[in-house]
Chains A and B, each alone.
Chain A
Amino acid sequence: MWTLSEAELTALLLSLRISAVAVLAALPFAVAAAFVLARYRFPGRALLDVLVHMPLVLPPVVMGYLLLITLGTRAPLGAFLHETFGIRFVFSWTGAALAAAIVTFPFQVRAIRLSLEVIDSGIETASETLGAGPIDRFFTITLPLALPGLVAGAITAFAASLGEFGAIITFVSNIPGETRTLPLAIYTAIQTPGGETAAARLVVLSICLALAGLLLSEIAARRIRAMAEG
């Protein structure tokens, strides 16, 4: 009963891959958004703030539907991407990663922004008097000092990505081996007569993954904090 079938193993690996890609792809944008929100006052800042937090309050199904009508092969943007670059998100695991990235984007931005806000601006000023230009300063002072937030945000987003259901099934459907992640596999098993054992197995697996994620984030947070503080 506790051995994973090949399809279930595929779903697990797919989930891990989709989450990893989602987190890493969103990271630079999350850093940029967090930096802009933490450091600058400009017209439209409130709007940006709302946009960044939108996925947090919007039902994931709505998010998935919005993605479908903008990036579907018949939508102008989706058609353009498909015809010009051969990029197709719908019914593809990359689309699942995109959906997961957008839905978990707020987690990353919030964590990074918090750690940026607590950086003593005097330390950055000091680097300026020591000859560091803005980009140099960002990569040698600001980013390393914000590392705890980066890691915390990435781990939270990764865990949340593993559980993403609504946006993925709406946007890229439930295709075995391509977009059927763990939550979708559980859903499928429950829908299938006699699939209760498989569903239970996958549920236990999900719980273990979640616990491992929490543990990892705790360990990482401690390590990174020690590193950043010296």
Chain B
Amino acid sequence: MSITVSFRHRFAGFDLDVEFEPSSRGIVALFGPSGAGKSTTVNAIAGLLRPAQGRIVFGDRVLLDTDRGIFVPPRKRRIGYVFQDARLFPHMSVRDNLLYGWRRSANRPPKQEIDRVIGLLGLDTLLQRRPRFLSGGEKSRVALGRALLCGPDLLLLDEPLANLDQARRNEILPYLERLREEMTVPMVYVSHSIDEVTRLSDTIVVLNGGKVVAAGEVGDIMTRLDLFPITGRFEAGAVIDATVAGHDGEFGLTTLAVDGARLVVPELSAREGSQVRVRIRARDVIIALSAPVDTSANNILPATITDIRFDPGPYADVLLHAAGTPLLARVTRSSIARLGLASGTAVFAVIKAINVEPRGRSGQR
């Protein structure tokens, strides 16, 4: 099912004009800085906001068409919404919270699905508790379960981790990954954290100033130098899907195969042949003109520079391709001048660090 979202809405001094049509496979991330219009967009999809003008079509259902005077109220949209602040009902137990939407849903999932979702989110022991006695992470999980049990056609997650500290985030992320693998419902995930987005999503829609500035596959968007001001220089980097090629038990290392190259990373608990996603931050890539031999770096790839983008500041962003694999490097402008780097220069990319994220159930050993 595809989602077409196109609307204009005017706030005080803010003119929102959003249009995107992502494929509905897996998780679509709505990414952008604060005030970019992310929450407004999901609120419009959910029907909590009635845009002045626009059209929202989900699959074959028209949810909004201002020209034809169509506005489906939120309760009839079959869209699950996980709010940033969970918004559990304080006067009900966790169980009653979970079943609130289920009891009211026209296409509610069968009864056995309730137990499956409860198990999937690890809520078994919390069912009798009141929300007041839950931790932040537990509240998020209940909110997730509550939205899922309505049997929604689409699940909206509006920065569900934003109010949590890093430890709690790390507690929730695996649950989100499990949902992505085990539930068939497409999700729209709103976030301003590039970390979460690259880890969870398949498609990214980048919003800025109330407009869609880019949309596409995670890997493509993350290597677009022109988007760096938004995708965040510090955390920015190449996102590459890789296959586990082998393990080296003696040194505790795993070899990953990417398009036309191999990467060595600390040993993973993933089976050979399984898919993982690696993220190589631009600030972790050093560029050398000749292959460094006496270095501690394990990953040195021959590459060609394909694009350079200069900053107003001391830095420049360099896009490289090691065979078919894109890499990003963030170096000083002075280095570029000193080494005479330009588009087409053959170089070596020295990779200092690689983040690996498992993709899917098959990835776990």
Binding site for B on A (CB under 8 A): 120, 122-123, 125-133, 136, 140-141, 144-145, 147, 227-230
Contacts and interface: CB of A to CB of B under 8 A. Distances in A.
A65 B89 CA distance: 47
Interface string B62-83: 0000000000011111011101
24 contacts: A123-B87, A125-B87, A126-B89, A129-B48, A129-B74, A129-B79, A129-B101, A130-B75, A130-B104, A130-B146, A130-B150, A131-B75, A131-B104, A132-B75, A133-B75, A136-B104, A140-B100, A141-B89, A228-B90, A229-B132, A230-B91, A230-B92, A230-B129, A230-B131
Nearest to B75: A131
A128 B90 contact: no
A122 B133 CA distance: 20
Contact of B130 (A125, A132, A229): A229
Nearest to A122: B87
Contacts of A229: 90-91, 130, 132
B141 to A, nearest CB: 15
A174 to B, nearest CB: 45
Contacts of A145: 90-91
- If over half of A's interface residues share one DSSP class (helix, strand or loop), that class is named, otherwise mixed; here it is helix
B105 interface: yes
Nearest to A147: B91
B256 interface: no
Nearest to A120: B87
Nearest to A230: B130
B243 to A, nearest CB: 40
A228 B90 CA distance: 7
Among A130, A131, A141: residue with most chain B CB under 10 A: A130
A144 B90 CA distance: 10
A129 B80 contact: yes
Contacts of B74: 125, 128-129
B89 A127 contact: yes
B75 A230 contact: no
A140 B74 CA distance: 17
Interface of B: 46, 48, 73-77, 79-81, 83, 85, 87-93, 100-101, 104-106, 129-133, 146-147, 150
Contacts of B104: 130-132, 136
Given A122-B85, A230-B130, A230-B133, A131 B91 contact: no
A123 B150 contact: no
A9 B41 CA distance: 67
Contacts of B46: 129
Among A120, A144, A230: residue with most chain B CB under 10 A: A230
A136 B101 CA distance: 12
Contacts of A144: 91
Contacts of A132: 75, 100, 104
Nearest to B48: A125
Contacts of B130: 229-230
Contacts of B101: 129-131
Nearest to B152: A129
B133 A129 contact: no
Nearest to B93: A230
A145 B91 CA distance: 7
B45 to A, nearest CB: 11
Nearest to B108: A131
Given A128-B73, A131-B106, A132-B104, 12 more contacts: A122-B87, A123-B88, A126-B87, A128-B74, A129-B79, A130-B100, A136-B104, A147-B91, A229-B90, A229-B91, A230-B92, A230-B132
B100 A227 contact: no
Contacts of B87: 120, 122-123, 125-126
Nearest to B46: A129
Nearest to A141: B89
A127 B92 CA distance: 12
B75 A227 contact: no
Nearest to A119: B90
A140 B326 CA distance: 54
Contact of B75 (A120, A122, A128, A140): A128
Among B75, B77, B88, B147: residue with most chain A CB under 10 A: B75
List the 3 shortest-distance A-B pairs measured between CB atoms, nearest first: A230-B130, A130-B101, A131-B104
B102 to A, nearest CB: 9
Nearest to A144: B91
